[in-house]
Amino acid sequence: MNAVRVCAALVLGAALVSCSANGGSRLAGSHQRHPWTIPGTLRWADGEDIDNLNPLLSTETLVNDLSSFTMGYFFLFDDKGNPIPSLCLKVPTKANGLISADGKSLTFRLRHGVLWHDGKPFTSADVAFTVKTILDPRTNVLTREGWDLITRVDTPDAYTAIFRLKKPYAAFINHYFTPIGNPAILPKHLLQGVDINRNSYNSLPVGLGPFRYVRWARGNDVVMEAFPQWWGGAPKLQRVIFQIIPDANSVFVALQSHAIDMYVRVPNAQYQSVARTAATRTIDHDVTSYGHIDFNLKNPMLADPQVRQALARAIDVHLMWQKVDHQTGYLACTPISHMSWAYDPNAPCYSFDLKAAAAQLDRDGWKLGTDGLRHKNGATLNFDFAGNTGNPGLDARVLMIQQWFKAIGVGLDYTRYPTNRLFASYAGGGIAATRRYDLVSYAWTVAPDPDLTNLVACSRISPLGQNYMAYCNPEVDRALQDALSHYERGRRRADYILMQELMARDVPFIVLSQRTDHVTFNDDFTGVNPGPQLMFWNPQDISN
């Protein structure tokens, strides 16, 4: 199946952003606010709950969203997906001299006058301390991808940090203190000598962002207040409240009743109804996230590529895109975003064909029994599909897959878990991370640099990374390693094209679509400007 463009033509590297209004466009301050609008306060939800608030220890996109308000990073990514300096003054390149000639030294010039939320100054010592914490094998980080190449961090002064690497690392912008890479910079003065895995800091982190945490009432809300001493100036809002509503239908009701002002990442199954909510605006924007169905390759039946290919043929991705996703997003056969310089428009995938799927299982020795299921050497093709509660789109998708699988003699049970349990870290017993599933569906966000090492490399099978599928192909690994060891984009693109072709053949996962996300919000608010990587890259500019 070739990629199907479902959005207007895009300039490579830029996100499509469209906007619709209901009840007329409103500009904050142009007339009286709605009676339900609280001046200076934003209340939002996204249908999920939280595992912890320290992005160093969390896999949740939600925690990254919250950290965009509160934590500190070298760089952010704007509404076009471009890196913009935050705590660093410049993005290192060879041209500006901040990457050494041999590619093994990266120099980060830090911003002066930055304060932690407790008033202490931020310095290069905090950077070096955080790197040391990430590299400490006792720290339950999700991955040390890229970090494990750092041999030391030199801090010649309070505003310079030099990362010395074992070898060049072209994807450094993904991991070294950017929101996409999860880890935020930690305060050395608060965490030196403590066990970060079990510290109370994880419940109310002290950060460097325009807002500071003041409360996490578990199961209820997270409250953040403006930090007036933020280096970029006081934000326009005084308070941000994340309402913990772990059910998509309940979030929609809260938006309609004005209990919240914003619904982030509206599921495609609800999109049309939510977008019609009175006195709201909806922004649709292409993102570098992709929905997918993963196979657990530690299951001996799914370790067989013939079985995976047959199951892929028995899933009508196009019909689900029409019926469940309402034709939003970008239908493609690869996780690399169509907005990326590394995207392969010719990456193949398996077309829907139940007869071909059944024939492939026949050839592989899976015989249909009187119980309607296929059997081989005492094993039965019956699988468990893991998903999260409060996700009507996934519920509809699984119901369709169950019918298709039944038609080819494959059973499929469906187990739903709370979101924070499904996506908890390996150390936290997460269902996905510990592979307590046969099939599972969720979304990954691909970082601005299209390196997928942490998701698919042999060396990153969890708990060593986020390769939860336990996929391992040495050819893929070689392509990934070559792409990371050179800064020249042409050579890197060739590596990534090969990687996409190999994964399409192996089918360790099925790409459902590259996503278009939707955010619907009270039309009293301005400054909402989501980007392809970050929902809240400019929280200081939001106002009502």
Q: Residues 61, 287: contact at Cβ < 8 Å?
A: no
| Mean pLDDT score, 300-322 | 97
pLDDT value at position 268? Answer: 84
Residue 98 φ/ψ region, left for φ over 0, alpha for ψ in the -120 to 50 degree band, beta for the rest = alpha
Q: Assess whether pLDDT exceeds 60 at residue 494.
A: yes
Q: Assess whether pLDDT exceeds 60 at residue 118.
A: yes
Does pTM surpass 0.95? no
Q: Assess whether pLDDT exceeds 90 at residue 382.
A: yes
Q: Count Cβ atoms below 10 Å from residue 462 Cβ, excluding itself.
A: 19
Q: What is the pLDDT of residues 12-69, one digit of tens each?
A: 333 344 445 565 445 544 568 999 999 999 999 998 888 889 999 887 889 999 999 9
pLDDT value at position 47? Answer: 87
* Cα 133 to Cα 158, 168, 293, distances in angstroms: 19, 22, 33
Mutual orientation of helices 474-484 and 489-506 as an angle, nearest 10°? 160
Q: What is the DSSP string of 1-44?
A: ---B--SS---TT---EEEEESS----BTTBPPPTT--TTEEEE
Beta bridge pairs of residue 113: none
Q: Assess whether pLDDT exceeds 60 at residue 161.
A: yes
Q: Assess whether pLDDT exceeds 60 at residue 491.
A: yes
pLDDT value at position 490? Answer: 92
CA–CA separation, 542 vs 55, rounded Å? Answer: 22
Which residue would you say has higher pLDDT here, 9 or 482?
482
pLDDT value at position 170? Answer: 93
Q: Assess whether pLDDT exceeds 50 at residue 3.
A: no
pLDDT value at position 276? Answer: 95
Q: What is the pLDDT of residues 205-261, one digit of tens each?
A: 999 999 999 999 999 999 999 999 999 999 999 999 999 998 999 999 999 999 999
Work out the pLDDT band at 7, boundaries 50, 70, 90: very low
Taken in order of first residue, the domains within the chain and their CATH numbers are: 21-49+204-286+517-541 (3.40.190.10), 55-201 (3.90.76.10), 289-515 (3.10.105.10)
pLDDT value at position 11? Answer: 31
pLDDT value at position 181? Answer: 66
Q: Assess whether pLDDT exceeds 90 at residue 269.
A: no
| Mean pLDDT score, 167-174 | 91
Which residue would you say has higher pLDDT here, 389 or 7?
389
pLDDT value at position 21? Answer: 57
The per-residue pLDDT of the chain, averaged, comes to: 91
Q: Residues 111, 89: contact at Cβ < 8 Å?
A: yes
Work out the pLDDT band at 418, boundaries 50, 70, 90: very high
Q: Is the peptide bond before 85 cis (omega within 30 degrees of 0)?
A: no
Q: Assess whether pLDDT exceeds 80 at residue 143.
A: no
Helix (H, G, I), strand (E, B) or coil at 354: helix
- Sign of the torsion angle spanned by Cα atoms 422, 425, 429, 432: positive
Q: Assess whether pLDDT exceeds 70 at residue 483.
A: yes
